[in-house]
Amino acid sequence: MADLVLFTRKGCCLCEGLEQRLRDLDLQALGLILTVLDIDSSAIEPELRHRYDLEVPVLQLDGRELARVSPRLQGDGLFNWLQRGLSNPADPV
């Protein structure tokens, strides 16, 4: 299983929308485990908070930052986008 991490912020409509669209997918079929991290949490390292502060939502796949996903991408389109990221780990999605 691969780790898919979503850096988010409470009250961010883009973050909440992406999180819901990801939860609606069968991520297990891709071998993914979704973890959602609030960038403002005290558990977040200060360097990550500084890096992603104005960039959320941000997705990381096994520690590799993915390209920004379009807020319009959902369902099969989002599933296929993630699948491409898994099959081409050296290429940006």
CA-to-CA distance for 40 and 7, rounded, in angstroms? 10
What's the token pair of residue 10?
A: 């409470």
- Cross-strand pairs, 37: 7
Q: What is the mean pLDDT of the chain?
A: 91
What domains are defined for the chain? 2-87 (3.40.30.10)
In the chain, the N- to C-terminal Cα span, in Å, equals 19
pTM of the predicted model, to two decimals? Answer: 0.89
| Span 11-61, pLDDT tens digits | 999 999 999 999 999 999 999 999 999 999 999 999 999 999 999 999 999
| Span 60-84, pLDDT tens digits | 998 899 989 998 899 999 999 998 8
